[in-house]
């Protein structure tokens, strides 16, 4: 029996049971046999969900880049580590070998040091999907700096909030980025953000689009000349197992985005282990995850998990529609991709284009298809299975979160029989629980409720940067002694899990988690707006789209509603980004409220989803009369 690589269903059940019965000896054996440690741990797991404090491999010393790069050099030095596919296919792909990656990461790490970055400093990375993104992430990890990657589609305000929250000393960006036929002025966005960030001392700028940009003397430095001069020898900083590796922001249902903190050893062990098994990765495979490294999926399953296994990982700069909707399949054919991991929203967008774009390409290299980010609907699942997988490649519908660091519930391909829309079985070491609203665990099969995890796994986020209290309240207070995911789930008659969606106010649009609060905050900035509430409603392509209910200030003057709609969406674009724009805006005379003054989004959601005949009990509302008015004017 192999604990590291599971190949049969019986093996899965055996290993799973072992990982639950003896979690410490299980993870200790995995850690011992498959990673490089400068010093072994004093204890495998210490935890208390009530404080909450969790540590894995306490006392151990290591550097994650030594595990992801250096240790492969003797056996795989010339193997491609990162296969870069540019936005424009005519530019040609780049194969970065493990040897070359080692040199480039070391040089970059030395540049960071020369610029005054030390262990524990926070570095914000705001880059498009170019090799410098992965390299700068690894360079931070090399010297023990904490990276905070901000997705390069976020606006300057969103960027500034994240830079200030974690007090970043440096920003790494580029002159601009390519996105299909468009270019984006990334440096301009950074300049705007930095007007309100006094913590940033240095901005390193990679050249990508070769345009003239303004360089702020003393603060901004071109990366290329610094890299050229830098030594390619940089000894890895020896880190404690529980030293922070990175911060990654995720939106919450209220207030500021949450800077989830992931630490070194447990994150490494779990992402590597799940990568190996969830994708059945073998030595000569070419693996491609289409996510952006600005999201957790990119951190764990483009960078750390694949590289820890010595894999070849594709990094794609562009979009699925450029030069045309055949681009994904062109890349699969060109690089003989074996594992392909994408999001339901991309699958739905591609399915909408029909199959003409697929027929010209040879997809026979594919062995495993993955889905992540939101529930995959039945139609999209079948389209993916038939047209891309040709009914031969299992689909792994993998459920997990920024907070969990790695895949938590997922089939293991060629091991777990799949079932459309079901994430199926818990991963090794994961102990899910389905809870009812009164806090009781629903045991046995055929139950539905709220999804919790009742035992720590190695890559659970350890805190929210600068706000441990919020970490405790958000994840460990709804249910006693359990991590609450914020998702609903059901367990079917054979024990398979299906994720039913968020039970809080987070809405997933095209795979991006959007908190309602920051969007409402942006809308409420409009001088004509009194109040607003955002809910999600089903959308063919985006999964969910945003529906806004807005009440206007009573000024006595009449306003043009269409102009207002445009202005409000412009505000949202400025404050958050175009992804958060509202698809529908309904102006109303009031919003349904509880007596304590909370907006009842549950009711608004039902109305937006055309389910106003099943609103449930509305008698506790402060202002019952507005409900009928809203129903009468629904868009």
d(CA 615, CA 620): 12
* Binding span for ligand 7RM by CB under 6 A among 89-97, 399-407, 549-557, 581-589: 399-407
Of 373, 411, 429, 536, the one binding ligand 7RM by CB under 6 A: 373
Measured from the CB atom, the residue of 193 and 499 that comes closer to ligand 7RM is 499
Of 72, 502, 581, 605, the one binding ligand 7RM by CB under 6 A: 502
* Binding span for ligand 7RM by CB under 6 A among 49-57, 349-357, 484-492, 605-613: 484-492
Of 161, 342, 402, 510, the one binding ligand 7RM by CB under 6 A: 402
Contacts with ligand 7RM: how many residues (CB under 6 A)? 22
Q: Is 287 a residue that touches ligand 7RM (CB under 6 A)?
A: no
**Closest approach of Cβ 474 to ligand 7RM, in Å?**
12
| Contacts of 27 by beta carbon, 8 Å cutoff, 6+ apart | 19, 44, 45, 56, 269, 429, 458
**Closest approach of Cβ 356 to ligand 7RM, in Å?**
28
Residue 139 contacts residue 164 (beta carbons within 8 Å): no
Of 41, 400, 479, 496, the one binding ligand 7RM by CB under 6 A: 400
d(CA 297, CA 299): 6
Instruction: Give the chain's length.
Output: 635
Element (H, E) at 437: none
Of 304, 399, 479, 549, the one binding ligand 7RM by CB under 6 A: 399
Residues 185-214 that bind ligand 7RM (CB under 6 A): none
Q: Where are the beta strands (DSSP E) in 229-330?
A: 239-240, 244-250, 258-263, 286-289, 312-316
Pairing of strands 258-263, 244-250: antiparallel
Measured from the CB atom, the residue of 320 and 370 that comes closer to ligand 7RM is 370
Measured from the CB atom, the residue of 26 and 270 that comes closer to ligand 7RM is 270
Measured from the CB atom, the residue of 106 and 398 that comes closer to ligand 7RM is 398
SS3 83: strand
Q: Where are the beta strands (DSSP E) in 51-168?
A: 53-58, 61-62, 80-85, 94-97, 122-125, 146-149
Binding mask 211-250 for ligand 7RM (x = CB under 6 A): ---------------------------------------x
Residue closest to 397 by CA, chosen among 407, 384, 411:
411
Of 374, 504, 505, 520, the one binding ligand 7RM by CB under 6 A: 374
Strand partners, 371: 342, 397
| Contacts of 557 by beta carbon, 8 Å cutoff, 6+ apart | none
Residues 112-171 that bind ligand 7RM (CB under 6 A): none
* Binding span for ligand 7RM by CB under 6 A among 3-11, 130-138, 391-399, 589-597: 391-399
Of 85, 220, 397, 504, the one binding ligand 7RM by CB under 6 A: 397
Q: Is 346 a residue that touches ligand 7RM (CB under 6 A)?
A: no
Of 186, 293, 369, 372, the one binding ligand 7RM by CB under 6 A: 372
* Binding span for ligand 7RM by CB under 6 A among 387-395, 481-489, 521-529, 556-564: 481-489
DSSP state string for 213-241: ----TTTEEEHHHHHHHS-S--PPPPEET
Q: In the structure encoding, which two tokens stand for residue 338, read together?
A: 């074996």
Of 298, 406, 486, 536, the one binding ligand 7RM by CB under 6 A: 486
Residues 290-309 that bind ligand 7RM (CB under 6 A): 295-297
- CA 565 to the chain's CA centroid: 30
Measured from the CB atom, the residue of 19 and 251 that comes closer to ligand 7RM is 251
Residues 513-552 that bind ligand 7RM (CB under 6 A): 513
Residues 12-71 that bind ligand 7RM (CB under 6 A): none
Q: Using omega within 30 degrees of 0 as the cis cutoff, is the peptide bond preceding 80 cis?
A: no
Measured from the CB atom, the residue of 513 and 569 that comes closer to ligand 7RM is 513
Q: In the structure encoding, which two tokens stand for residue 131, read together?
A: 């090799």
Measured from the CB atom, the residue of 253 and 524 that comes closer to ligand 7RM is 253
Q: Tell me which residue has tokens 């449930």.
A: 616
d(CA 416, CA 5): 14
SS3 62: strand
Number of neighbouring beta carbons within 10 Å of residue 270 = 29
d(CA 74, CA 36): 14
Measured from the CB atom, the residue of 62 and 149 that comes closer to ligand 7RM is 149
**Closest approach of Cβ 199 to ligand 7RM, in Å?**
26
Residue closest to 544 by CA, chosen among 608, 466, 484:
608
Q: Is 281 a residue that touches ligand 7RM (CB under 6 A)?
A: no
Residue 234 contacts residue 110 (beta carbons within 8 Å): yes
Of 464, 508, 523, 535, the one binding ligand 7RM by CB under 6 A: 508
- Taking CA atoms, 374 is separated from 325, 511, 624, in Å, by 22, 6, 33
Measured from the CB atom, the residue of 326 and 511 that comes closer to ligand 7RM is 511
Q: Is 505 a residue that touches ligand 7RM (CB under 6 A)?
A: no
Phi, psi (degrees; rounded to nearest 5) at 450: -100, 140
Number of neighbouring beta carbons within 10 Å of residue 391 = 9
Measured from the CB atom, the residue of 35 and 465 that comes closer to ligand 7RM is 465
Q: Is 423 a residue that touches ligand 7RM (CB under 6 A)?
A: yes
Radius of gyration from C-alpha coordinates of the chain: 24
Residues engaged in binding ligand 7RM (CB under 6 A): 250, 295-297, 372-375, 397-402, 423, 485-487, 499, 502, 508, 513
């Amino acid at each position: 029996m192999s604990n590291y690589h599971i190949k049969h269903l019986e093996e899965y059940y055996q290993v799973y049971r072992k990982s639950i019965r003896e979690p410490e000896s299980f993870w200790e054996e995995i850690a011992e046999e498959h990673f490089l440690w400068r010093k072994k741990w004093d204890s495998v797991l210490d935890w208390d969900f009530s404080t909450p404090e969790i540590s894995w491999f306490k006392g151990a010393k290591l550097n994650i880049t030594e595990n992801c790069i250096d240790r492969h050099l003797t056996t795989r030095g010339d193997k491609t580590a990162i296969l870069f596919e540019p936005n424009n296919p005519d530019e040609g792909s780049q194969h970065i070998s493990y040897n070359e990656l080692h040199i480039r990461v070391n040089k970059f790490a030395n540049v960071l040091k020369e610029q005054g970055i030390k262990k524990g400093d926070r570095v914000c990375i705001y880059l498009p999907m170019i090799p410098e993104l992965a390299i700068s992430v690894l360079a931070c990890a090399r010297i023990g700096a904490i990276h905070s990657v901000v997705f390069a589609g976020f606006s300057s305000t969103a960027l500034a909030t994240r830079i200030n929250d974690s007090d970043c000393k440096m920003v790494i960006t580029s002159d601009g980025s390519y996105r299909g036929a468009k270019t984006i002025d990334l440096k301009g966005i950074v300049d705007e953000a930095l007007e309100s960030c006094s913590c940033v001392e240095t901005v390193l700028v990679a050249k990508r689009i070769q345009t003239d940009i303004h360089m702020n003397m003393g603060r901004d430095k071109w990366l290329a000349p610094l890299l050229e001069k830098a030594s390619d020898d940089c000894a890895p900083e020896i880190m404690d197992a529980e030293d922070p590796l990175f911060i990654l922001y995720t939106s919450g249902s209220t207030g500021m985005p949450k800077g989830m903190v992931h630490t070194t050893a447990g994150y490494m062990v779990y992402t590597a282990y799940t990568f190996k098994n969830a994708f059945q990765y073998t030595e000569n495979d070419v693996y491609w995850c289409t996510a952006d490294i600005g999201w957790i999926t990119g951190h764990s399953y483009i960078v750390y998990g694949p590289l820890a296994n010595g894999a070849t990982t594709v990094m794609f700069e562009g979009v699925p529609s450029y030069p045309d909707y055949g681009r994904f399949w062109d890349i699969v054919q060109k690089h003989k991709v074996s594992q392909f991991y994408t999001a339901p929203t991309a699958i739905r967008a591609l399915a909408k284009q029909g199959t003409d774009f697929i027929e010209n390409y040879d997809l026979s290299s594919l062995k495993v298809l993955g889905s992540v980010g939101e529930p995959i609907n039945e139609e999209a699942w079948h389209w993916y299975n038939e047209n891309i997988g040709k009914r031969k490649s299992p689909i792994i519908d993998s459920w997990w979160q920024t907070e969990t660091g790695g895949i938590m519930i997922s089939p293991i391909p060629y091991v777990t029989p799949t079932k459309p829309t079901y994430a199926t079985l818990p991963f090794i070491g994961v102990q899910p629980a389905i809870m009812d609203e009164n806090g009781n665990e629903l045991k046995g099969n055929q139950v539905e409720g709220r999804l919790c995890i009742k035992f720590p796994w190695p890559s659970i986020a350890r805190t929210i940067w600068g706000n441990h209290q919020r970490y405790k309240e958000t994840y460990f207070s709804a249910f006693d002694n359990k991590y609450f995911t914020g998702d609903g789930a059901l367990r079917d008659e054979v024990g398979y899990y299906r994720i039913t969606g968020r039970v809080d106010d987070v809405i997933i649009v095209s795979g991006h988690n959007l908190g309602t609060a920051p969007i409402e905050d942006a809308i409420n900035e409009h001088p004509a707006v009194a109040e607003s509430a955002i809910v999600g409603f089903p959308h063919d392509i985006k999964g969910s789209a945003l529906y806004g209910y807005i009440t206007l200030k009573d000024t006595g003057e009449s306003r043009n509603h269409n102009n207002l709609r445009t202005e409000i969406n412009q505000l949202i674009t400025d404050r958050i980004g175009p992804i958060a724009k509202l698809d529908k805006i309904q102006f109303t005379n009031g919003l349904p409220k509880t007596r304590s003054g909370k907006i009842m989004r549950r009711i608004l959601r039902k109305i937006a989803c055309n389910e106003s005949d099943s609103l449930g009990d509305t008698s506790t509302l402060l202002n019952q009369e507005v409900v009928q008015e809203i129903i009468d004017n629904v868009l």
